[in-house]
Amino acid sequence: MEFFHRATTFPFMSTRKWWYGLSIVLILISLVSLVTRGLNLGVDFTGGVTVQATFPVAANRDAVITALTGAGYSDPQVTIFGTSRDIAIRLPPTKQSTETVRNQIEQVLHRVDAGAQIQQVEVVGPQIGGELQRSAAQALIATLLLIFGYIAVRFHTWRLSLGAILAVLHDPILVLGTFSVTRTTFDLTVVAAMLAVIGYSLNDTVVVFDRIRERFHGSRRLQPVVVLDQSINQTLSRTIMTKVVTLIVVVALYVLGGPVLRGFSEALIIGIVAGTYSSIYISSAVALDCGLKAEHLLPSSVKRPVDSMP
């Protein structure tokens, strides 16, 4: 089985202006939505209200969730709390008094079991305070700088580094934009998915770069546009194969994984598709428009020894 029976020769680079346009439009939509609508942050970020309740017999977690969802509470988190008869319900922040919340939840729980008793209703702070958000932002910036440096050293040119970093920024912005437009709950698991997306995007980009370096080695006379097109075509079957395999796992999670994994797998799907696209049309195309030439990648005429195998 093979996706392509013969070598492909798609002229990727000639249409890059159109794709730039598409990317810019999508990023603008994402940014505008992020600024005006913001993200629908989950209780991890916002804190909220915790209700503790006790049932006369072992609590049926599913029934409680169904009842709460039926009463209009979105994404209620229900945890078995201590013995199997105690539960804790986490709800998003509300302007209502804790007394009102207590009465409303009590009514809902009585539909599940008339003997349910509310023990405590309390406001809880966010899991991820400002401090943690700052440290996450620092981690991200430091990571991008290190990657920029590594690619610049390994490939001897900042042009490829710039392309890689722009591609890496492009994908999470689109994921964030989609979450903002669709109002999907943005919680900690989505953050993890976004980090994974960055990893994939980078991986793809570097594989294409590696082929570009190799092609320039073989034929210095060729036009950069031709070399880039050839490199992308030659790695195309690998790109598609890897993406298909990863998407099999992620789509399985999306379809079969239940509501908890929905946001997580959705972020991964969007990110993987965006990442494949950006490794072709952002990272390589940006490097080309920054004036990438053979001599940038091959600073001396002395051939570097090929890395030895372990």
Partner 1 sequence: MLEFARWKYVLVALVVLIGLLFALPNLFGEDPALQVERKSRAPMDDIARQSIEELLHKQNIVIKRDFIDSGRLILAFNDLASQLKARDTVDATLSDVDRSALANASRAPGWMRSIGLKAMPLGLDLRGGLYLLYQVDLQGAVSQLLESYEQSFRRALNEAKLPFADITTITAGTGGIANGLRVSLPADADAGAIEAVLKKVDGNLKFTSSSSASGPVVDMVLTAAQIKAREDYALEQNRTTLTNRVNELGVSEPIVQRQGLDRINVQLPGVQNSAEVKDLLGKVATLELRLVDTQNNPMQAEQSGHAPLGTKLYKREDGAPILLKREVIVTGDELTSATSTTSTEGPAVSIKLDARGADSMLRTTRLNVGKPMAVVYIEKSRRQVEVNGQKVDRDSTSEKVINVATIRGVFGPQFQVTGLTAGEARDLSLMLRSGSLAAPIEVVEERAIGPSLGQDNIDKGVRALEIGMLAVFVFMALYYHAFGLVADAVLLANVILLTALLSMLRASLSLPGIAGIILTVGMAVDANVLIYERIREELRNGVSPQAAIRAGFDKAFSAIADSNVTALIAGLALWVIGTGAIRGFAIVLTLGIATSMFTSLLGSRALITLMYGGRRKLARLSIG
Site for partner 1 in 128-187 (CB under 8 A): 128-129, 131-132, 135-136, 138-139, 142-143, 146-147, 150-151, 154
Cβ(260)–Cβ(32) below 8 Å: no
- From 237, 143, 254, select the one nearest 199 (Cα to Cα): 143
For partner 1, the closer CB: 117 or 203: 203
Closest distance to partner 1 from the beta carbon of 82 (Å): 4
Cβ(235)–Cβ(207) below 8 Å: yes
């770069």: which residue's tokens? 209
Q: Tell me if 32 contacts partner 1 by CB under 8 A.
A: no
- From 1, 113, 124, select the one nearest 51 (Cα to Cα): 124
Q: Tell me if 255 contacts partner 1 by CB under 8 A.
A: yes
Region of 34-42, 102-110, 203-211, 295-303 interacting with partner 1 (CB under 8 A): 203-211
Cβ(177)–Cβ(31) below 8 Å: yes
Contact positions with partner 1 (CB under 8 A) in 220-239: 234-235, 237-238
Closest distance to partner 1 from the beta carbon of 252 (Å): 3
In this chain, which of 108, 116, 193, 280 binds partner 1, going by CB under 8 A? 193
Separation CA 46–CA 100 (nearest Å): 20
For partner 1, the closer CB: 104 or 234: 234
Cβ(126)–Cβ(46) below 8 Å: yes
Count other Cβ atoms within 10 Å, centred on residue 55: 19
Separation CA 224–CA 230 (nearest Å): 10
Closest distance to partner 1 from the beta carbon of 18 (Å): 28
- From 160, 171, 178, 148, select the one nearest 266 (Cα to Cα): 178
Count other Cβ atoms within 10 Å, centred on residue 302: 7
Q: Tell me if 278 contacts partner 1 by CB under 8 A.
A: no
Contact positions with partner 1 (CB under 8 A) in 79-118: 79-84, 86, 88
Q: Tell me if 245 contacts partner 1 by CB under 8 A.
A: yes
Closest distance to partner 1 from the beta carbon of 22 (Å): 25
Q: Tell me if 123 contacts partner 1 by CB under 8 A.
A: yes
For partner 1, the closer CB: 33 or 90: 90
Q: Tell me if 53 contacts partner 1 by CB under 8 A.
A: no
- The radius of gyration of the chain from alpha carbons, rounded to an integer in Å, stands at 25
Q: Tell me if 302 contacts partner 1 by CB under 8 A.
A: no
In this chain, which of 118, 126, 220, 225 binds partner 1, going by CB under 8 A? 126
- From 273, 249, 92, 87, select the one nearest 178 (Cα to Cα): 273
Closest distance to partner 1 from the beta carbon of 163 (Å): 13
